Amino acid sequence: MPPTASNSSRAGRTRNPSAAQRQTNKNRADAAAKTRANKEKAQKATARKVQRGSNNARAAALRDATNAGEAEPLSAEEQIAALTARLEAAEAKNEALNRKNKKLKKSVHPQTASTDAEIVPIPKPKRKFNLQEAMQLEDNRKLFTELQAGVHSAALEAKIDFESNWSQQDPGTVAKIFRVMRDMVLLYDLP
Protein backbone atom coordinates (compact mmCIF):
# COMPACT_ATOMS: atom_id res chain seq x y z
CA MET A 1 0.00 0.00 0.00
CA PRO A 2 1.44 3.40 -0.95
CA PRO A 3 2.29 5.78 1.87
CA THR A 4 -0.45 8.21 0.88
CA ALA A 5 -3.42 8.23 -1.43
CA SER A 6 -2.66 8.78 -5.08
CA ASN A 7 -3.22 12.27 -6.42
CA SER A 8 -5.18 11.01 -9.41
CA SER A 9 -8.07 8.62 -9.72
CA ARG A 10 -8.61 6.06 -12.45
CA ALA A 11 -11.03 8.39 -14.21
CA GLY A 12 -8.28 11.02 -14.45
CA ARG A 13 -9.79 13.41 -11.92
CA THR A 14 -7.30 14.83 -9.46
CA ARG A 15 -7.81 13.98 -5.85
CA ASN A 16 -6.08 15.90 -3.06
CA PRO A 17 -5.11 14.28 0.22
CA SER A 18 -7.19 15.43 3.13
CA ALA A 19 -5.96 18.24 5.32
CA ALA A 20 -5.54 15.78 8.19
CA GLN A 21 -3.40 13.48 6.01
CA ARG A 22 -1.24 16.40 4.82
CA GLN A 23 -0.79 17.52 8.44
CA THR A 24 0.07 13.96 9.50
CA ASN A 25 2.65 13.70 6.70
CA LYS A 26 4.09 17.09 7.65
CA ASN A 27 4.26 16.12 11.34
CA ARG A 28 6.04 12.87 10.50
CA ALA A 29 8.52 14.63 8.24
CA ASP A 30 9.14 17.28 10.93
CA ALA A 31 9.69 14.58 13.56
CA ALA A 32 12.15 12.74 11.31
CA ALA A 33 14.04 15.98 10.58
CA LYS A 34 14.16 16.83 14.28
CA THR A 35 15.52 13.38 15.11
CA ARG A 36 18.25 13.72 12.47
CA ALA A 37 19.15 17.20 13.76
CA ASN A 38 19.40 15.90 17.33
CA LYS A 39 21.66 13.05 16.21
CA GLU A 40 23.91 15.49 14.37
CA LYS A 41 24.09 17.77 17.43
CA ALA A 42 25.02 14.83 19.65
CA GLN A 43 27.74 13.72 17.21
CA LYS A 44 29.18 17.23 17.01
CA ALA A 45 29.16 17.55 20.81
CA THR A 46 30.97 14.22 21.14
CA ALA A 47 33.55 15.29 18.55
CA ARG A 48 34.13 18.57 20.39
CA LYS A 49 34.53 16.72 23.68
CA VAL A 50 37.09 14.34 22.15
CA GLN A 51 38.97 17.26 20.58
CA ARG A 52 39.03 19.14 23.91
CA GLY A 53 40.38 16.06 25.63
CA SER A 54 43.09 15.69 23.00
CA ASN A 55 43.98 19.38 23.23
CA ASN A 56 44.09 19.20 27.03
CA ALA A 57 46.38 16.17 26.91
CA ARG A 58 48.78 17.91 24.50
CA ALA A 59 48.76 21.07 26.61
CA ALA A 60 49.45 19.07 29.77
CA ALA A 61 52.35 17.23 28.12
CA LEU A 62 53.86 20.51 26.89
CA ARG A 63 53.35 22.12 30.31
CA ASP A 64 55.03 19.16 32.04
CA ALA A 65 57.96 19.26 29.62
CA THR A 66 58.32 23.02 30.08
CA ASN A 67 58.11 22.78 33.86
CA ALA A 68 60.75 20.06 33.88
CA GLY A 69 63.05 22.35 31.90
CA GLU A 70 63.33 19.79 29.08
CA ALA A 71 61.67 21.80 26.34
CA GLU A 72 63.87 24.14 24.38
CA PRO A 73 62.38 26.57 21.93
CA LEU A 74 62.35 25.10 18.43
CA SER A 75 63.74 26.92 15.43
CA ALA A 76 61.39 27.87 12.62
CA GLU A 77 62.66 24.99 10.44
CA GLU A 78 62.16 22.50 13.27
CA GLN A 79 58.63 23.79 13.89
CA ILE A 80 57.79 23.53 10.17
CA ALA A 81 59.23 20.00 10.00
CA ALA A 82 57.25 18.93 13.08
CA LEU A 83 54.03 20.44 11.73
CA THR A 84 54.59 18.88 8.30
CA ALA A 85 55.11 15.47 9.89
CA ARG A 86 51.91 15.86 11.93
CA LEU A 87 50.00 16.95 8.80
CA GLU A 88 51.25 13.96 6.79
CA ALA A 89 50.32 11.60 9.63
CA ALA A 90 46.84 13.14 9.86
CA GLU A 91 46.35 12.87 6.07
CA ALA A 92 47.41 9.21 6.11
CA LYS A 93 45.01 8.50 8.97
CA ASN A 94 42.21 10.33 7.14
CA GLU A 95 42.84 8.34 3.95
CA ALA A 96 42.76 5.07 5.90
CA LEU A 97 39.48 6.08 7.54
CA ASN A 98 38.00 7.01 4.16
CA ARG A 99 38.91 3.58 2.73
CA LYS A 100 37.41 1.87 5.76
CA ASN A 101 34.26 4.00 5.45
CA LYS A 102 33.85 3.04 1.77
CA LYS A 103 34.15 -0.65 2.66
CA LEU A 104 31.56 -0.28 5.41
CA LYS A 105 29.14 1.53 3.09
CA LYS A 106 29.47 -1.23 0.51
CA SER A 107 28.83 -3.92 3.10
CA VAL A 108 25.78 -2.12 4.53
CA HIS A 109 24.25 -1.19 1.15
CA PRO A 110 25.36 -3.85 -1.34
CA GLN A 111 24.67 -3.02 -4.95
CA THR A 112 21.97 -5.45 -6.03
CA ALA A 113 21.20 -5.81 -9.68
CA SER A 114 17.54 -6.45 -10.28
CA THR A 115 16.53 -8.52 -13.25
CA ASP A 116 13.23 -8.75 -15.05
CA ALA A 117 12.82 -12.27 -13.67
CA GLU A 118 12.61 -10.85 -10.13
CA ILE A 119 9.87 -8.34 -10.96
CA VAL A 120 6.41 -9.84 -10.97
CA PRO A 121 3.65 -7.35 -11.73
CA ILE A 122 0.52 -7.48 -9.62
CA PRO A 123 -2.50 -8.02 -11.84
CA LYS A 124 -5.10 -5.27 -11.87
CA PRO A 125 -8.03 -6.30 -9.65
CA LYS A 126 -11.31 -7.05 -11.42
CA ARG A 127 -13.41 -6.02 -8.45
CA LYS A 128 -13.08 -3.71 -5.46
CA PHE A 129 -9.69 -4.51 -3.99
CA ASN A 130 -9.07 -4.99 -0.26
CA LEU A 131 -5.37 -5.09 0.56
CA GLN A 132 -5.96 -6.57 4.01
CA GLU A 133 -7.83 -9.50 2.44
CA ALA A 134 -5.17 -9.91 -0.25
CA MET A 135 -2.55 -10.18 2.50
CA GLN A 136 -4.74 -12.75 4.26
CA LEU A 137 -4.81 -10.55 7.35
CA GLU A 138 -8.56 -9.92 7.57
CA ASP A 139 -8.54 -11.54 11.04
CA ASN A 140 -5.45 -9.65 12.23
CA ARG A 141 -6.12 -5.92 12.04
CA LYS A 142 -3.31 -5.11 14.50
CA LEU A 143 -0.61 -6.75 12.35
CA PHE A 144 -2.00 -5.15 9.20
CA THR A 145 -1.85 -1.67 10.76
CA GLU A 146 1.69 -2.33 12.05
CA LEU A 147 2.81 -3.26 8.54
CA GLN A 148 0.98 -0.24 7.12
CA ALA A 149 2.71 2.04 9.64
CA GLY A 150 6.02 0.39 8.71
CA VAL A 151 5.49 1.31 5.06
CA HIS A 152 4.69 4.90 6.04
CA SER A 153 7.74 5.11 8.28
CA ALA A 154 10.02 3.59 5.64
CA ALA A 155 8.65 6.04 3.06
CA LEU A 156 9.40 8.97 5.36
CA GLU A 157 12.93 7.72 6.07
CA ALA A 158 13.53 7.19 2.34
CA LYS A 159 12.35 10.77 1.69
CA ILE A 160 9.61 9.78 -0.72
CA ASP A 161 8.16 12.71 -2.68
CA PHE A 162 4.60 12.76 -1.38
CA GLU A 163 3.54 15.15 -4.13
CA SER A 164 4.10 12.47 -6.82
CA ASN A 165 2.25 9.24 -7.53
CA TRP A 166 3.76 5.97 -6.34
CA SER A 167 4.53 4.93 -9.92
CA GLN A 168 6.50 8.17 -10.45
CA GLN A 169 8.85 7.62 -7.50
CA ASP A 170 12.58 6.92 -7.92
CA PRO A 171 12.94 3.13 -8.45
CA GLY A 172 16.00 2.96 -6.18
CA THR A 173 14.11 4.61 -3.34
CA VAL A 174 11.12 2.30 -3.83
CA ALA A 175 13.49 -0.69 -3.85
CA LYS A 176 14.89 0.42 -0.47
CA ILE A 177 11.39 0.55 0.97
CA PHE A 178 10.64 -2.90 -0.44
CA ARG A 179 13.79 -4.32 1.18
CA VAL A 180 12.89 -2.82 4.56
CA MET A 181 9.34 -4.13 4.35
CA ARG A 182 10.51 -7.57 3.18
CA ASP A 183 12.69 -7.81 6.28
CA MET A 184 9.79 -6.65 8.45
CA VAL A 185 7.47 -9.27 6.93
CA LEU A 186 10.11 -11.94 7.53
CA LEU A 187 10.18 -10.94 11.21
CA TYR A 188 6.45 -11.65 11.43
CA ASP A 189 6.86 -14.93 9.50
CA LEU A 190 4.03 -14.13 7.10
CA PRO A 191 3.21 -16.28 4.05
Q: Domain map of the chain by residue range?
A: 113-188
pLDDT value for 72: 64
Residue 102 to residue 110: CA distance in whole angstroms = 11
DSSP-assigned beta bridge partners for residue 14: 8
**pTM > 0.85: yes or no:** no
Residue 108 to residue 68: CA distance in whole angstroms = 51
CB 82, CB 74: distance < 8 Å: yes
Sign of CA dihedral 157, 162, 166, 171: negative
- pLDDT mean values, one per 10 residues, the chain (191 residues): 52 66 86 89 84 72 62 74 84 84 70 57 76 83 86 84 84 84 73 55
